[in-house]
Structure 1
Amino acid sequence: MPTLPTPSHFASHPSLASSLLITPPPEPTPTPTPPRSVLILLHGLGDTNAPFHNLASQLSLPHAACISLRAPSPIPALMTGTDQTGFHWGDDLSLDSRTGALDFDAGFSTAARPLGDLLGVLLGECGFVARDVHFLGYGQGGMAALAVVEAWPGVEFGGVIAIGTGIAGSKSAMGEVRGYVSSLTIGEGKARTPVLVCGGSSGTVVTAGVLREVKERFGAVEYVMWERGGDGMPRSRGEMMVLMRFWGGRIRGPVPEGMEEVGGAA
């Protein structure tokens, strides 16, 4: 049975330890049990992990711990238009020539280390298997999440929910992440991890071309279009239920006492 991640598990990775917020699973009654699954939340470009930490508390996913990770690279407050420093997952800040907005696909070598170190601890010391590691990413965080699981196409992670994002131009955009996790076999072909892509009915980056590319590179893809414009996070109960239904089919409960799980280490 996996162990609930705590700050002490990341003591050997101080920069990582200072950039993550952990939410334990809701305590069941009558007997608390360790989490079976872990959900990694990756915020959008220019944001911090604080809002996703609040979201994790509201989700109350049974048997699942949540880790909200802050991106490694800061964006000056002047550029975010607020009095708060934001962060991004890319190697650089560049403008999309088509939209004039900051480009999500700005390389992910810098993000590979914190994400790789995080996976290394979760799959190692904490005892999770890849099948029980899930991702929720918004905007550039969603692109980063897709890139992480695509680094191991032969491995079935728990799943990726990617909201308001495209897919990196290169299949190996996060290839460096493999150097931090030695326990997984890379494999080949379409990525085995199931994906849910969500986006607005207008003013969205989730275009037909984006969906076509995602389906060409992932074996199991579901798409849900919000009944509103824009690519924001879920606002209504109906939109949140889209996420809950996906997790309901993927997040597993604890292994009954006295039984042992066979396989699934990848």
Structure 2
Amino acid sequence: MPTKTPTPTDFPSHLKVTITHPPTPSTAPAPNILLLLHGLGDTAAAFTSFARALQLPETTVVTVQAPAPLPFDLGGFHWGDDVAFDTGTGGLDMDAGLTRSTATLVDDVIRGCLLGKCGYALREIIVLGFGQGGMAGLVAARELGLGRGSSEQQDQLQQQQQQQQTGALAGVISIGAPYPLSGSRAGAKNRSPVLLVAGRDSVAVSDAAVRRTEEVFEFVELSRYARKGDGMPSNRDEMLPVMQFFARRLRSRQGVPEGSVEIT
């Protein structure tokens, strides 16, 4: 169970985060964390309005700004190791390597702060990312599912800590982005449930891209808009699959007797 509600000062000083609290105040930390990752060229501040609109019960929303600013005074931030251009569209390519941002999300945000300082478990954290933020979330989820391999020199406490920091998230929602071509697909499938949301005839979330995501994750759902375009959900029908995913994956303390133990 979480021991404290995260605050911006719990995160490394080089990261910009905003915290949105549950609509119903409580003295105890919320049982869920929703990690929001904005798209390529956006900011945490712009994405925070979406966090407020969600009004998710018993959920603290942490919106993280991508670590790298776009060059040439373009404004906004990106999750890539570099800035690359898509030769097909002439725009910026989402799949520009995600090694550094993966380390930031896994080590600084999730393991260092949410697990280490606030006492959350991976099963209490769900990620929603848009565009390149969705890619970053998928790669981070895969990394969290990989064991780092304990050596004979590691003591029992270190091994126990590693086991607690390795496993499946409550889920990942990626809007407009599949698992990237640049990401590794070696090893066993990750058990974090995934929801891919995309427009009709999406170029980014093609049938081949969905199959690639299914090579990495054991449980993958796909929801397509009736319209073209991979933007954020713009009406009730487009948002419904996302809210249904939340309903299945978010935890609730309401109606649970004190002292109860969950068996997973």
How far apart in 2 are the matches of 1:172 and 1:214? 11
Spell out the pairing of 1:43-192 with structure 2 (5 A cutoff).
43-76=38-71, 78-79=73-74, 85-115=75-105, 116-119=107-110, 120-153=112-145, 155-172=167-184, 188-192=187-191
| Distance apart, 1:4 and its partner CA | 1.2
| Structure 2 residue 21 is the aligned partner of structure 1 residue 38 | no
TM-score of the pair, normalised by structure 1: 0.83
How far apart in 2 are the matches of 1:65 and 1:212? 32
Q: Tell me if structure 1 keeps the 8 A contact 2:97–2:182.
A: no
Cα RMSD (Å): 2.1
Q: In structure 2, do the counterparts of structure 1 residues 214 and 112 end up closer, same or farther at CA, with 3 Å as the change threshold?
A: closer
Question: Residue in 2 aligned with 1:82?
Answer: none
Among the aligned pairs, what percent are the same residue?
Answer: 40
Secondary structure at the counterpart of residue 94 of structure 1 = coil
Quick one: which of 22, 25, 32 aligns to 1:25?
Answer: 22
Secondary structure at the counterpart of residue 128 of structure 2 = strand
How far apart in 2 are the matches of 1:233 and 1:124? 32
Q: In structure 2, do the counterparts of structure 1 residues 24 and 93 end up closer, same or farther at CA, with 3 Å as the change threshold?
A: same
Secondary structure at the counterpart of residue 249 of structure 2 = coil
| Distance apart, 1:124 and its partner CA | 1.3
How far apart in 1 are the matches of 2:29 and 2:114? 13
Partner deviation per Cα, 1:202-247 (whole Å, 9 max, x = no partner): 3541101101111121100000000101000000011112110000
How far apart in 2 are the matches of 1:242 and 1:86? 29
Stretch of structure 1 that moved more, 219-228 or 70-79 = 70-79
What is the aligned length? Answer: 240
TM-score of the pair, normalised by structure 2: 0.84
Partner amino acid, structure 1, of 2:232 = M
How far apart in 1 are the matches of 2:122 and 2:260? 17
